[in-house]
Amino acid sequence: MARFAAVAVTTTAILAALLAGGSGAASAAGARFVPEATDADWDGAVATVVFQEVEVALESGVTSISVKATADVDIVCTRGESTITIHRSATATEVDDYPISDDGTVAGIARLPLKVTGLQVPGYSCAAQRWSVTAVLEDFWTGATLVHKA
């Protein structure tokens, strides 16, 4: 019984510390990604995601951000009167630490190798009709998230 009470007191103390800001996330509650400062592009081999997060207040001076990029491609392949329409996609993810400036801003650029396969059909002439890239940003310490489609 005494052991149970000690565990309960310890667990309560840990939870109280986390709620009071001991995790660092509570002190960054106002942090958010700026949609207008976010851009995503894809050159067929590399996805480039530019982003900015504001109101980040962590004692460590750095924060960990996950950047996931998904490229979607629609192609049309023809051979004579035969036409094939194909949709392909690929996703790449990168997690890195980014420095926090004195004013609480995190500015970053992530370059992710990203190749979409299956865009050619033997014997057919293929051309991309449409492509897009979607970036998903998540700050592990502040909890800020953003989905950006370009």
39/37 Cα distance (integer angstroms):
7
User: Residue 70: pLDDT above 80?
Assistant: yes
Name which of 60, 52, 67 is nearest 27 in CA terms: 60
Q: What percent of the chain has pLDDT over 90?
A: 79
CATH of 30-149, one of 3.30.110, 2.30.29, 2.70.98, 2.60.40: 2.60.40
The whole-number pLDDT of residue 27 equals: 43
Q: Could you report the per-residue pLDDT of 83-126, keeping only the tens digit for each?
A: 999 999 999 999 999 999 999 999 999 999 999 999 999 999 99
The whole-number pLDDT of residue 107 equals: 96
CA trace torsion 49, 55, 58, 62 (10° rounding): 20
| Mean of all residue pLDDT scores within the chain | 85
User: Residue 8: pLDDT above 50?
Assistant: no
The whole-number pLDDT of residue 12 equals: 40
The whole-number pLDDT of residue 20 equals: 40
Instruction: Write down the pTM of the prediction.
Output: 0.76
* Look-up of token digits 């629609």: 74
Q: Could you report the per-residue pLDDT of 114-138, keeping only the tens digit for each?
A: 999 999 999 999 999 999 999 999 9
Q: Which two tokens stand for residue 31?
A: 């942090």
Q: Which two tokens stand for residue 28?
A: 């960054």
The whole-number pLDDT of residue 28 equals: 55
77/85 Cα distance (integer angstroms):
6
